[in-house]
Amino acid sequence: MVLLSKPSKNIGGVFEWNSAIRECVKQNCSHKALLLFRQMKQNGLEADNFTFPLLAKASANLCSLSSSQIIHSNVLKSPFWSDLYVQTAMLDMYVKCQQLTDACLLFDRIPVRDVASWNVMVLAFAQSGFLDKVLGLFRDMRFDGILPDTVTVVGLTRASLDSKNLALVKSVHAFGIRIGIDGDVSMANTWISAYAKCEDLSSAMAVFNGVEIGVRTVVSWNSLIAGYGSLEKFINALSFYKWMLCDGYRPDTSTIVSLLSSCIQPDKLFQGALIHCHGIKLGCDSDIFVVNALISMYSRCSDILSSRFLFDGMTDRTCVSWTAMISGYAERGDLDEALRLFHAMEVAGVKPDLVTVLSLVSGCGLTGALELGKWIHQYAFSNGLRDNIVVCNALIDMHAKCGNIIGARELFNVLPVRTVVSWTTMITGCALNGEYKEALDLFSLMVEFGLKPNHLTFLAILQACTHAGFLEKGLELFHMMREVYNINPGVDHYSCITDLLGRKGRLKEAVELVESMPVKPDAGIWSALLSACKIHRNVEMGEYACGRLFELEPDLEGAVPFVEMANIYASERRWDEAAAVRRAMKINKVKKFPGQSLVRVNGKPHVFTVEDRGHPDSLLLYATLDSLSLQSKEEEYWPYLEDFVT
DNA sequence: ATAGGGTTAG
């Protein structure tokens, strides 16, 4: 710990006490700083205009409202209550303690305000995302005749970033140039990361290149690397990292964290581990930010055991550490372990926050764990998350994915505010549960409310049309998407329309669409076409689709195209060709992966396949199934014959 | 001045 040299009672003047307090604040022992203040008073010494700002800082670090109020009342009793420096420190203290109202009251009472006091307010509202308030303050500040400085412009940039408002970032940038602060490195660094966050990497690059090589700091590089990493341009992020090393810069924790958090795919495990090694070499591998980033990197790269190893080795785990680990298990469907950690977290005295709840909710949706999902729903609502739109959206999604469309609808209907995500989630849920008409109605209603559907909304509604076989409606929406909303369809949108045309027997149009689309067709689109060819017994188109499919996936891993093609030949009684496909399968040793199903019984997941006799109770299970099919025969229910062809 | 866990799709 820190060397807390207590000033001796004999020689201790205010100056010595101030130095001791400053040392405590610097070493992150803010509670000791406040204790020293009490001792100082007990020794009959009064705080001065240097003591109060230090105490304010300590109180802000602790986010302690009660100590803030004590310090404030001491200030009011002192002769320094009118000192501008002290007042700004008080202001900052209230802001850091989340007491915006108190800060405003204080701010209004300060007779003469300088840049620093205005900046505290601008930054406070910028951090809370009140763009209107920030712009209003900025205007009033100008009316007051105060010249903004870099801190003000940083606040403005941060506020415009919250809504990813690129136009506003640009105009703030222009303003910065006008008042001549664009030569400042920290200002340039802020703009690099701001442009990156608004997904305008060329502007970010332009600002970066505008900073002279000798003036660039690690933060300049970090901002660029974080920008490319968060836009899933890992290769670029990595090459900038290499470039940074070549230029002789020493990466810091932030560099490592940004790089780690851009390794989000299983095939990035090697690179992720490499960055881990760099972290070790730099000596920052035990930094809590780095460890948290490592946990989520390993889990997202499908190496959950390494995540767990790091997690178990931690001495201090924050809410983020627990959540990273929990969401790792939840994402891969291991809800038992996720829940065990959730309870362990509460035992350890760490309070879960909304992100923790969100990971569990999405895990329930992924595995269809409705009972657990309902429990977490209850938990979220009794812990003050009832009004949180993000949590509610996740809950709607969970209910719908678990087949509880009624629960999803109930929640959706009572939402006080519905975002585009809420509507999209509900439409997806309806499509998933066969409520195609409702999906279409919701879509019209959403548009009537004046909300702008995005590419995912269109995907949801097009999928509903595809499943329902609404060809005209689907085509209409597809056109609306491009003409009215200016959204470029992705491969998934094209896939829906191809599937829809194919199913309706309009194979020629389907193929023409695929051939003319501006995005590269994927395997899914050709598979959809192939199965349409099977339904409509079209050998030529089938062969064509099959050929394209093999071009895309020459490894011949899956059996599906073979089986489909053999069936198409068989349906046209072209037995020789059907047999040839079967032979080709044998020669190429094509593996047949049976489709798996998952069902939860008493909270325990059971995975099974067609004709699965591996379960200990399989005899009983199949007996039950037989009686069920007997029953359905009696009730004259006949499943589609098509389902049994393959 | 930069940085860690997350809602709709997959």
Query: Which bases in strand B are touched by protein, i.e. have an atom under 7 Å from a CB?
Result: 1-10
pLDDT of res. A3: 46
Is A608 a member of any domain?
yes
pLDDT of res. A60: 86
Q: Hey, is A187 helix, strand or coil?
A: helix
Is A445 a member of any domain?
no
Nearest residue to B6 via alpha carbon and C1': A355
Sign of CA dihedral A45, A49, A50, A51: positive
Q: What burial letters (b/e) apply to A463-477, b meaning 16+ CB within 10 Å?
A: bbbbbbebbebbbeb
pLDDT of res. A591: 64
pLDDT of res. A555: 66
For A377-432, what is each residue's pLDDT tens digit? 999 999 999 999 999 999 999 999 999 999 999 999 999 999 999 999 999 999 99
Nearest residue to B3 via alpha carbon and C1': A254
How far apart CA A498 and CA A511 sit, in angstroms, is 8
How far apart CA A578 and CA A279 sit, in angstroms, is 57
Q: Which residue, A609, A471, A460, A461, is CA-closest to A532?
A: A471
How far apart CA A191 and CA A471 sit, in angstroms, is 48
Q: Strand B: which residues 186-225 of A lie within 7 A (CB)?
A: 186, 189-190, 193, 197, 217-219, 222-223
Q: Which residue, A71, A67, A100, A65, is CA-closest to A87?
A: A71
Structural domain total, chain A: 1
Instruction: Give the closest nucleotide to A256 (alpha carbon vs C1').
Output: B3
Q: Which residue, A571, A536, A576, A531, is CA-closest to A549?
A: A531
Beta carbon of A259 within 7 Å of strand B?
A: no
Nearest residue to B9 via alpha carbon and C1': A456
Is A209 a member of any domain?
no
How far apart CA A14 and CA A47 sit, in angstroms, is 7
Q: Strand B: which residues 429-458 of A lie within 7 A (CB)?
A: 454, 456-457
pLDDT of res. A1: 41
Is A237 a member of any domain?
no
For A425-441, what is each residue's pLDDT tens digit? 999 999 999 999 999 99
Mean pLDDT by 10 residues, chain A (646 residues): 47 85 86 92 91 91 85 92 91 87 91 92 86 91 93 91 87 94 94 93 94 92 95 92 95 97 94 96 96 97 96 96 97 96 96 96 96 96 94 98 97 95 98 96 96 96 96 96 95 96 92 92 89 85 81 68 77 79 76 62 64 71 70 47 33
How does DSSP classify residue A641? G
pLDDT of res. A642: 35
How far apart CA A504 and CA A500 sit, in angstroms, is 6
Alpha helices in A211-352 (DSSP H): 218-230, 234-246, 253-261, 269-282, 288-300, 304-312, 319-331, 335-347
Q: Give every CB contact of residue A469 below 8 A, 6+ residues apart in sequence.
A: A500, A503, A504
Is A612 a member of any domain?
yes
Beta carbon of A421 within 7 Å of strand B?
A: yes
Q: Strand B: which residues 505-524 of A lie within 7 A (CB)?
A: none
pLDDT of res. A435: 96
Q: Bin A573: left if φ > 0, else alpha if -120 < ψ < 50, else beta.
A: left
Q: Hey, is A13 helix, strand or coil?
A: coil
Beta carbon of A389 within 7 Å of strand B?
A: yes
How far apart CA A17 and CA A39 sit, in angstroms, is 10
Domain that holds residue A640: 596-644
Note whether A323 and A359 are within 8 A (CB).
yes
Beta carbon of A292 within 7 Å of strand B?
A: yes
Share of chain A above pLDDT 90, in %: 67
Beta carbon of A156 within 7 Å of strand B?
A: no
Is A194 a member of any domain?
no
Q: Strand B: which residues 468-507 of A lie within 7 A (CB)?
A: 492
CA–CA distance from A568 to each of A148, A193, A499 (Å)?
73, 55, 17
Is A625 a member of any domain?
yes
Beta carbon of A64 within 7 Å of strand B?
A: no
From the CA of A52 to the C1' of B3: give the distance in Å.
Answer: 31
Beta carbon of A158 within 7 Å of strand B?
A: yes
From the CA of A455 to the C1' of B10: give the distance in Å.
Answer: 14
Is A601 a member of any domain?
yes
